[in-house]
């Protein structure tokens, strides 16, 4: 039997016990935020890396190497000088490192993630990351209400309470507490206000019980310099560095052109999209119009087209002295179908109503069921009384006819009456 050299055995043991890949060289200046955005890794939260001053820990909702590892068990790290890292607390990934992640989700040739430019001679279609490696899980700053890295529009009549509700949401986000019964993700907040004086804002913050913190910044017109427009380089830098929630109060105060001019409005709305692309979650407050066609929002349709979701804030009634009933109703969403939320506000406390809000379709169904001889015009009028716009009610009647959840009968002079379609079930 041939004796085996002990040095050879030690060498082989090291080979067998090493991780799948050797850790990459510690290159500085890596753009971790750009890398996360490139593949759409769902972020749970960001926090300072206390063990390495100036560094950042980015906790993930799902491990990029094993999606079953959830709830922040996996995280990217980036040191103050831009050295990337990765760890996962689960046993199956305990020996994995950033090199294993780069093997599955290739990093760009340079340490800084740069957008691919078609003018580059070395560019090719093959450089575009595969959609099948892109983690497209949606993230929310406020569940189903404000998407992370998106643009959200809140509209309402003057005096309905948009600013107050928005400030309450900001207070919930900056402290990481629920808002209107919805989970929030803790983020720094920048509230850019060209509508309200300092005294009003301070009074609202105190009445809402928002605890003092350096992570919420109110930038109002009472200080110099006056609040910058959304195109400000300073706001853009803040968006890239802190990925904050940014609220603009209100659109008309920052939009210097005509709201009805499509090209001007498109250029203005692109500023909010640029901030969202940089990492901010943007909420824009805006007014409704008086005409029926502008009941949801005032101005060009390019306003609605530029946002990811849009909500209408309405005052329903006064429940009792000093307590108002309000409703937030979605009228656009690229992300997910959301239900209206009804709540009561006493001036200091928000309480989500136990009474579920009817969807617009449910309103139409109820009116048709209760008014079997009502004409199209009469149904639309009743729907308006229930908070559904004329345009939306007419569209729902057309959809019901086309999708056959409504039966329609055309009478004299083209008068239409509706009834709910009867579904026959075989037994």
Q: What are the tens digits of pLDDT across the range 254-265?
A: 998 888 999 999
Please tell me whether residues 327 and 374 are part of one structural domain: no
Task: Report CA-CA distances (Å) from 232 to 109, 228, 279.
Answer: 31, 6, 15
> Do the domain assignments include residue 260?
yes
CATH number, domain containing residue 415: 1.10.10.10
Name which residue leads in pLDDT, 413 or 59: 59
How large is the average pLDDT for residues 357-369?
83
Q: What are the tens digits of pLDDT across the range 62-109?
A: 888 888 888 788 999 998 888 889 999 888 888 888 888 888 888 765
How large is the average pLDDT for residues 379-408?
84
Task: Report CA-CA distances (Å) from 321 to 158, 160, 324, 345, 347.
Answer: 21, 16, 8, 11, 11
Lowest mean pLDDT among 50-64, 70-84, 111-125, 348-362: 111-125
> Do the domain assignments include residue 330?
yes
Non-local (6+) Cβ contacts of 382 within 8 A are 367, 371, 374
Q: How many Cα neighbours within 13 Å face the side chain of 248?
A: 30
Helix H, strand E, coil C: the string for 352-418 is ECCCCCCCHHHHHHHHHHHCCCCEHHHHHHHHHHCCCCHHHHHHHHHHHHHHCCEEEEECHHHCEEE
Give residue 236's pLDDT: 93
Give residue 226's pLDDT: 85
Please give the tally of structural domains in the chain.
Answer: 3
Q: Does 16 have pLDDT greater than 70?
A: no
Give residue 115's pLDDT: 47
Q: What are the tens digits of pLDDT across the range 96-111?
A: 888 888 888 887 654 4
Beta-bridged to residue 327, according to DSSP, are: 314, 342
Last residue of a domain, one of 68, 100, 133: 133
Give residue 340's pLDDT: 85
Residue found by looking up tokens 């906790």 in the block: 59
Please tell me whether residues 317 and 384 are part of one structural domain: no
Please tell me whether residues 244 and 340 are part of one structural domain: yes
Lowest mean pLDDT among 113-127, 169-183, 268-282, 349-363: 113-127
Q: What whole-number distance in Å separates Cα of residue 359 and Cα of residue 67?
A: 34
> Do the domain assignments include residue 328?
yes
Beta-bridged to residue 317, according to DSSP, are: 325
Q: What whole-number distance in Å separates Cα of residue 187 and Cα of residue 305?
A: 27
Last residue of a domain, one of 75, 102, 133: 133
Please tell me whether residues 192 and 323 are part of one structural domain: yes
Longest Cα–Cα distance in the chain: 107
b (16+ CB within 10 A) / e for 310-322: bbbbbeeeeeeee
Please tell me whether residues 173 and 86 are part of one structural domain: no
Give residue 9's pLDDT: 41
How large is the average pLDDT for residues 200-212?
91
Give residue 120's pLDDT: 55
Q: Does 283 have pLDDT greater than 50?
A: yes
Task: Write out the residue range of the structural domain in which residue 318 sits.
Answer: 140-352
Please tell me whether residues 381 and 269 are part of one structural domain: no
> Do the domain assignments include residue 6?
no
Q: What are the tens digits of pLDDT across the range 311-342?
A: 999 988 766 778 888 999 888 888 766 778 98
DSSP 244: -
Last residue of a domain, one of 133, 154, 183: 133
Lowest mean pLDDT among 128-137, 238-247, 261-270: 128-137
Lowest mean pLDDT among 75-79, 299-303, 361-365: 361-365
> Do the domain assignments include residue 4?
no
DSSP 78: E
Q: Does 310 have pLDDT greater than 90?
A: yes
How large is the average pLDDT for residues 291-316?
87
3-state DSSP assignment of residue 291: coil
Q: What whole-number distance in Å separates Cα of residue 407 and Cα of residue 5?
A: 88
Name which residue leads in pLDDT, 19 or 64: 64
Q: What percent of the chain has pLDDT over 90?
A: 38
> Do the domain assignments include residue 262?
yes
Please tell me whether residues 211 and 248 are part of one structural domain: yes
Please name which of 121, 95, 101, 131 lies closest in space to residue 35, comparing C-alpha atoms. 101
Backbone phi, then psi, for 253, in 5-degree steps? -75, -25
Q: What whole-number distance in Å separates Cα of residue 161 and Cα of residue 285?
A: 11
Give residue 89's pLDDT: 87
Radius of gyration of the chain (CA): 27
Q: How many Cα neighbours within 13 Å face the side chain of 357?
A: 22
Task: Report CA-CA distances (Å) from 32 to 36, 98, 136, 157.
Answer: 6, 11, 18, 42
DSSP 265: H
Give residue 389's pLDDT: 76
Q: What share of the chain is helix, strand, coil (3-state, %, to 5)?
A: 30, 25, 45
Rounded to 10°, the helix 360-370/390-403 angle is 80
> Do the domain assignments include residue 7?
no
Q: Does 22 have pLDDT greater than 70?
A: no
b (16+ CB within 10 A) / e for 261-273: eeebbeebbebbb
Please tell me whether residues 121 and 242 are part of one structural domain: no
Q: How many Cα neighbours within 13 Å face the side chain of 130?
A: 5
How large is the average pLDDT for residues 183-189?
94
Lowest mean pLDDT among 29-38, 170-179, 351-360: 351-360
> Do the domain assignments include residue 275?
yes
Give residue 287's pLDDT: 94
Burial class from Cβ neighbours inside 10 Å (0-12, 13-18, 19+) for residue 363 reads buried
Q: What whole-number distance in Å separates Cα of residue 338 and Cα of residue 329?
A: 9
Q: Where are the alpha helices (DSSP H) in 178-316?
A: 198-207, 233-242, 251-254, 262-277, 302-305
Please tell me whether residues 241 and 120 are part of one structural domain: no
CATH number, domain containing residue 286: 3.40.50.300
Please tell me whether residues 169 and 260 are part of one structural domain: yes
Residue found by looking up tokens 């239409």 in the block: 416
Task: Report CA-CA distances (Å) from 426 to 41, 403, 420, 423.
Answer: 47, 21, 19, 10
Q: What are the tens digits of pLDDT across the range 123-144?
A: 667 666 666 665 556 789 999 8
Please tell me whether residues 377 and 310 are part of one structural domain: no
Task: Report CA-CA distances (Å) from 217 to 239, 240, 245, 293, 364.
Answer: 13, 16, 11, 36, 43
Give residue 125's pLDDT: 72
Q: What is the mean pLDDT of the chain?
A: 82
Please tell me whether residues 27 and 149 are part of one structural domain: no
């Amino acid at each position: 039997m041939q004796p085996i050299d002990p040095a050879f055995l030690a060498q082989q043991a090291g080979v067998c016990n090493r991780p799948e890949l050797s850790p990459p060289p510690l290159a500085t200046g890596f753009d971790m935020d750009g890398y996360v955005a490139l593949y759409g890794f769902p972020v749970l939260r960001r926090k300072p890396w206390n063990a390495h001053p100036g560094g950042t820990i980015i906790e993930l909702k799902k491990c990029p190497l094993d999606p079953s590892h959830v709830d922040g068990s996996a995280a990217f790290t980036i040191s103050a000088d831009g050295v990337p890292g990765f760890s996962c607390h689960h046993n199956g990934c305990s020996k994995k490192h950033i090199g294993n992640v780069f093997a599955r989700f290739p990093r760009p040739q340079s340490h800084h993630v740069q957008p691919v430019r078609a003018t580059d001679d070395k560019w090719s279609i093959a450089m575009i990351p595969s959609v099948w490696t892109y983690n497209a899980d949606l993230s929310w700053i406020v569940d189903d209400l404000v998407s992370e890295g998106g643009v959200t529009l809140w509209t309402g009549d003057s005096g309905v309470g948009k600013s107050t509700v928005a400030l309450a949401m900001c207070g919930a986000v900056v402290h990481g507490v629920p808002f209107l019964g919805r989970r929030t993700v803790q983020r720094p907040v920048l509230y850019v206000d060209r509508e309200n004086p300092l005294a009003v804002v301070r009074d609202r913050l105190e009445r809402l019980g928002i605890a003092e913190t350096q992570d919420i910044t109110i930038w109002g017109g009472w200080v110099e310099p006056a609040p910058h427009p959304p195109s400000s380089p300073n706001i853009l830098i803040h968006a890239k560095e802190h990925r904050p929630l940014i609220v603009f109060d209100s659109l008309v105060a920052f939009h210097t052109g005509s709201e009805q001019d499509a090209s001007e409005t498109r250029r203005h709305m692109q500023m909010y999209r640029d901030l969202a692309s940089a990492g901010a979650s943007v909420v824009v407050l805006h007014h409704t119009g008086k005409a029926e066609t502008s009941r949801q929002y005032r101005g060009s349709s390019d306003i609605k087209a530029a946002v990811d979701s849009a909500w209408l804030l309405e005052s329903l009634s006064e429940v009792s002295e000093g307590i108002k009933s309000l409703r937030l109703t979605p009228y656009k969403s690229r992300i997910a179908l959301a239900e209206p939320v009804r709540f009561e506000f006493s001036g200091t406390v928000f309480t989500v109503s136990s009474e579920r809000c009817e969807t617009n379709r449910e309103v139409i169904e109820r009116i048709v069921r209760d008014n079997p001889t009502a004409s199209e015009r009469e149904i639309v009028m009743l729907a308006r009384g229930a908070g559904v716009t004329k345009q939306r009610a007419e569209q729902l009647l057309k959809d019901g006819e086309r999708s056959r959840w409504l039966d329609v009968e055309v009478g004299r002079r083209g008068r239409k009456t509706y009834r709910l379609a009867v579904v026959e079930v075989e037994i």
